[in-house]
Amino acid sequence: MLSDLDLIGTIEDDEEVPEEPESEEEDEEQPIVLGKKKQAKGKRSEDFNSDFVFAERDGQGDDSWVMDDVMKQLKKRTATSLDEKIETVRKKRKNQVKADKNNQQTEKEEDIKSEEEEEEDEDEESAEEFSSEEETVLTKADTLRVKEKKKKKGTGKSGFFEDASHFDENLTFQDMNLSRPLLKAISALSFTQPTPIQKACIPVGLLGRDICACAATGTGKTAAFMLPVLERLIYKPREAPVTRVLVLVPTRELGIQVHTVAKQLAQFTEVTCCLAVGGLDVKTQEAALRAGPDILIATPGRLIDHLHNCPSFSLNAIEVLILDEADRMLDEYFEEQMKEIIRLCSHQRQTLLFSATMSEEVQDLAAVSLRNPVRVFVNSNTDVAPFLRQEFVRVRPNREGDREAIVCALLTRTFQDHVMLFTQTKKQAHRMHIVLGLMGLRVGELHGNLSQTQRLEALRRFKDEQIDILVATDVAARGLDIQGVKTVINLTMPATMKHYVHRVGRTARAGKAGRSVSLVGEEERKLLKDIVKKAQAPVKARILPLDVISKFRDKIKNMEKEVYAVLQLEKEEKEMQKSESQISSAEKKLHDGKEAQGPERSWFQTREERKKEKLSHALQEFDLALRGKKKRKKFMADAKKKGEMTAEERSQFEILKAQMYAERVAKRDRKPKRARAMPEDDESAAKASKPKKQKKNTVFDEELTNTSRKALKKYRAGPSFEDRKRLGIQQRRKGNFKSKSRYRRKSSNS
C-alpha cells in the first residue's frame, strides 16, 4: 500500500518495533534506504575528493568569534530575557507541584522527604518517564519508489559559461603562488589542503576572471573567494585610501562571519576590512567607511543607505565585486537593491558570484553582470553536504498536530545538544523556545523579530554551548558556520529544495559528519521525493513509539497555560517599555527642541515606494496562494476568528507559509527568461535589434487611456461581486448576464 501512496515506508503500528540501539550506534544497523539501494561507502565521498582531509582547527580557536567590536555597537538588552520569564513560570509550577505533594503527604501521613530530593524528582521526571524506549530507525527496505528519470545531458548552461569545474586534485596552497602572509594565515587556521572548490576557484580568481561558482554547504567557499582577492590587494597595493573590494551578503550574521574570516586571512597583511550591515551603529560605520577600507562586507540595504547618506563614499573604485549566496539576494526583497548596487560599481571590475544553490535567476544575473564568466560547479545545484545523514519522520495525515510533540521527544530523548531546530515562521520559533524552555531544555531563538543584539547574543550563546538548541527561521539557514552543530531538525519541511539544502547545510560542515531529521507530512511528500531522488547517500526513516508521542502531546497540552503566562509577561513588559520610551522621547523633545534632530536619512526609493514594493510582493504571494484554493482562504479566516490556533492549525499554517513561498518561486521560474547579454546568444541579438520599448505606462495611465472594448466594459461593470456583498447590493444589474444560456435560464424562470 505504501508503494501505491509513494510514501516513506515505516513500520506499521501493529507491527513489532525492533529493539533500539543507542542513536550514536545506529550506523551499525542495516540502514533503511529510501528510494535508492545502499551505496558503497567509498562512493558517497566521490565528489568530495576522498583524500581530502579537513585539518584540526585549533589555530582558529575561540577568536573565530571576533565580535567584540560588533557587540560594542549594539544597544543595551531589554529588562528581563525570555529565559528569565520562562524560569519564573517554571518556578511557579515547581512550587505549585511541591505544595500539592506536601498536602498529599500530610494527608496520608507519610514520611516527609527532604526538599532536595523532591527537586531532583521533579527535574528528572521527564527523563525517567520517556527514556525507556528509543525511537526506531528502520531496518527493512523502504518502499518509496523513485522513478529514475533519464538524466538530461548537458544543461545548456555550459553553452555560455566557460567551464572550469575540473581541477587538479593534487594542487596545494603552496602551488597556488599565494604570498607568504597569506600562506602563514592559512596555516594559522590549520588549513592543510585546499578544498575542492578552493582548488578550482583560486587559480581562476588569481587570473582576474569572473567566476560563477557553486559548491555544497560547508566546503570552504568563503576562503575560495577571499584568498585570490587578498592576493590581488597585496600584489597591487593601493594608491589612495579607497574601497576596492565589495562583498555583498544577504544576512547580517553572515556579514559578520565573512568579516571575521576576511580578518583572519588578512591578519599578516596590511589589508583593512570593514563591516556595514543593518542593526549596527550607522555613525561608527560611516566613520570607518570614510577611512577607505580595502574590503567592505555589506548587506544590500545598509550599503545603499551609506551610498546615499555618506557623501565621501562611493563604489567607483571597486575592483572586485563578490556576491555571496547570490540566489538568496535575488529572492525576497533584495532584487532591486542588488541591481542598484551593481549599477553603481565600476564597470572595470572582476565579479565573483558564489552559492551552494543556483537558480535560473542567478544564472541570468550572472549572464548580465559578469563578463565572460568561468563556471565552477564542484557540486550539482542541490547536493547536500557530503557527510550528512538525512532522516525523515513521517507525520501521519490526521496527526499534523503532533509535530511539536515529535520534536520535543527527539530533543529530550535523542538529540540533546548542538541542535538547530528550523521553523517556517517567527511566531512558531518563539513558541518552540518557550515550550522547550518550560520543559527544562537550554534553548535560544534566532529570527527577524528580534533586535540585532538579541540575534547575535543567541548565536554567541549557542556557539559557546550555553544553550543546546537554537530555534531559528530561514534567516539562520544561509552560510552560518557554527562549529559542532550535530543535528538539524526541521519542524516542517522548508519551502523549496534550495531552502532545505541550506538548512541542513548548517551541520556536516568542513568534512565533519552531521545529521538532519525532518518531519514530513502528507502535503510535503513531493519535496521529500525530490530529496530522495537527489541523495547520494542512503536516506533513512525514523519512527518514534506512538505512546512516547502521545505522552509529549499531553505534556504540551498541560503546558499551554504556562506558555500563555510567559507570553503575557512579555506583553506586559513590552507595554511598560513602550510607555517608558514615549515618556522619555517626549521629555527629550521638550529639552532639545525639534531642530536638534539631524536631517532624515535618504534612500534610493522613497519610504512609500519601499512600502509599496513590499506590500505588492506580499499581496502577490498571498494572491497566488489563494487563487483557486478556497480551502486556504477558509483556513486563514477560521484561524483568525479563533484567535489562538490549535497545534494542528499551527502546523498547517507553517506548511501553508512554505507552500505560498514555493508557489511564488515556481511562478517566477515559469516567467519567460530574460534576454541574455551574451554575444553568441541569437535570441538576445534578435532582441537587441528590435526598436526600444516605450516607457511602461503606469496603472493610472492605463486606466485613463485604455479604450479597448474589454477595458470599457470592465470600468462600466460597476462594483465587483465582493464589493457588492460588502455594500449589501444583492442584485446584479439587469441585463448584465455572463452568458446566453444564463440569460435564457433567467428569462424562462421569470
Which residues, listed in sequence order, are joined to residue 323 by a DSSP beta bridge?
Answer: 248, 353
Distance CA 670, CA 496 (A): 15
Distance CA 213, CA 378 (A): 8
Nearer to ligand ATP, 357 or 452 (CB): 357
Distance CA 207, CA 200 (A): 12
Shortest Cβ 410–ligand ATP spacing (Å):
23
Shortest Cβ 480–ligand ATP spacing (Å):
7
Contact 89, 562 (CB under 8 A): yes
Strands 245-248 and 320-324, bridge-based pairing: parallel
Nearer to ligand ATP, 55 or 242 (CB): 55
Tell the burial category of 216 from Cβ atoms under 10 Å away from its Cβ (0-12, 13-18, 19+): buried
Shortest Cβ 478–ligand ATP spacing (Å):
7
Q: Look up cell 572582476; give the residue.
A: 350
Nearer to ligand ATP, 213 or 419 (CB): 213
46 phi/psi in degrees, rounded to 5: -55, -45
Nearer to ligand ATP, 26 or 325 (CB): 325
Does the footprint of ligand ATP cover residue 567 (CB under 6 A)?
Answer: no
Strands 540-543 and 295-298, bridge-based pairing: unpaired
Nearer to ligand ATP, 134 or 331 (CB): 331
Site string for ligand ATP, 589-618 (x = CB under 6 A): ------------------------------
Alpha carbon 48 to its chain's center: 24
Q: Which stretch binds ligand ATP (CB under 6 A): 73-81, 216-224, 305-313, 692-700?
A: 216-224
Does the footprint of ligand ATP cover residue 218 (CB under 6 A)?
Answer: yes
Nearer to ligand ATP, 221 or 555 (CB): 221
What one-character DSSP code corresponds to residue 292?
A: -
Nearer to ligand ATP, 268 or 737 (CB): 268
Nearer to ligand ATP, 259 or 542 (CB): 259
Alpha carbon 483 to its chain's center: 18
Shortest Cβ 165–ligand ATP spacing (Å):
15
Shortest Cβ 224–ligand ATP spacing (Å):
7
**Cell reading at 363:** 544564472
Return the closest-CA partner of residue 400 out of 522, 518, 494, 495.
522
Cβ-based neighbours of 479, under 8 Å, separated by 6 or more: 249, 250, 251, 254, 257, 258, 324, 325, 502
Sign of CA pseudo-dihedral 142, 147, 150, 152: negative
Does the footprint of ligand ATP cover residue 194 (CB under 6 A)?
Answer: yes
Site string for ligand ATP, 117-136 (x = CB under 6 A): --------------------
Helix, strand, coil percentages in the chain from 3-state DSSP, rounded to 5: 50, 10, 40
**Cell reading at 745:** 435560464
Does the footprint of ligand ATP cover residue 516 (CB under 6 A)?
Answer: no
Does the footprint of ligand ATP cover residue 220 (CB under 6 A)?
Answer: yes
Q: Look up cell 502577490; give the residue.
A: 620
Which residues, listed in sequence order, are joined to residue 542 by a DSSP beta bridge?
Answer: 137
Residues 223-262 that bind ligand ATP (CB under 6 A): 223
Site string for ligand ATP, 489-508 (x = CB under 6 A): ----------------x---
Distance CA 86, CA 440 (A): 9
Please give the single-letter amino acid code of residue 578. K
Does the footprint of ligand ATP cover residue 510 (CB under 6 A)?
Answer: yes
Contact 374, 204 (CB under 8 A): yes
Nearer to ligand ATP, 214 or 246 (CB): 214
Shortest Cβ 444–ligand ATP spacing (Å):
20
Shortest Cβ 356–ligand ATP spacing (Å):
4
- The neighbour count for residue 639, using CB atoms within 10 Å, is 17
Shortest Cβ 490–ligand ATP spacing (Å):
16
Nearer to ligand ATP, 187 or 706 (CB): 187
Q: Which stretch binds ligand ATP (CB under 6 A): 186-194, 490-498, 674-682, 723-731?
A: 186-194
**Cell reading at 649:** 492549525
Among 29, 36, 45, 54, binds ligand ATP (CB under 6 A): 54
Does the footprint of ligand ATP cover residue 366 (CB under 6 A)?
Answer: no
Nearer to ligand ATP, 322 or 435 (CB): 322
Total residues interacting with ligand ATP, rule: CB under 6 A: 21
Does the footprint of ligand ATP cover residue 359 (CB under 6 A)?
Answer: no
363 phi/psi in degrees, rounded to 5: -65, -30
Site string for ligand ATP, 55-74 (x = CB under 6 A): x-------------------
For residue 151, how many C-alpha atoms fall within 13 Å in the half-sphere facing its CB? 6
Shortest Cβ 302–ligand ATP spacing (Å):
20
- Largest Cα separation within the chain, whole Å, is 98
Nearer to ligand ATP, 66 or 146 (CB): 66
Does the footprint of ligand ATP cover residue 509 (CB under 6 A)?
Answer: yes
Among 167, 191, 334, 653, binds ligand ATP (CB under 6 A): 191
Shortest Cβ 509–ligand ATP spacing (Å):
5
Please give the single-letter amino acid code of residue 589. K
Among 356, 471, 647, 660, binds ligand ATP (CB under 6 A): 356
Return the closest-CA partner of residue 323 out of 373, 272, 263.
373
Alpha carbon 638 to its chain's center: 29
Shortest Cβ 454–ligand ATP spacing (Å):
23
Q: Look up cell 490549535; give the residue.
A: 646
Nearest residue (beta carbon) to ligand ATP: 220
Q: What radius of gyration, in Å, describes the C-alpha atoms of the chain?
A: 29
Contact 520, 528 (CB under 8 A): yes
141 phi/psi in degrees, rounded to 5: -60, 135
Alpha carbon 280 to its chain's center: 21
Nearer to ligand ATP, 222 or 412 (CB): 222
Does the footprint of ligand ATP cover residue 221 (CB under 6 A)?
Answer: yes
Does the footprint of ligand ATP cover residue 342 (CB under 6 A)?
Answer: no
Contact 422, 473 (CB under 8 A): yes
Nearer to ligand ATP, 414 or 518 (CB): 518
Among 10, 126, 195, 381, binds ligand ATP (CB under 6 A): 195
Q: Which stretch binds ligand ATP (CB under 6 A): 190-198, 602-610, 634-642, 679-687?
A: 190-198
Distance CA 590, CA 586 (A): 6
Shortest Cβ 413–ligand ATP spacing (Å):
29
Q: Which stretch binds ligand ATP (CB under 6 A): 188-196, 228-236, 389-397, 603-611?
A: 188-196
Nearer to ligand ATP, 403 or 509 (CB): 509
Does the footprint of ligand ATP cover residue 217 (CB under 6 A)?
Answer: yes
Nearer to ligand ATP, 221 or 375 (CB): 221
Strands 419-422 and 295-298, bridge-based pairing: unpaired
Does the footprint of ligand ATP cover residue 178 (CB under 6 A)?
Answer: no
Ordered DSSP codes for 118-130: HHHHHHHHHHHHH
Strands 136-137 and 540-543, bridge-based pairing: antiparallel
Residues 454-483 that bind ligand ATP (CB under 6 A): 479, 481
Task: Name the site residues for ligand ATP (rule: CB under 6 A).
Answer: 54-55, 191, 193-195, 198, 215, 217-223, 356, 479, 481, 505, 509-510
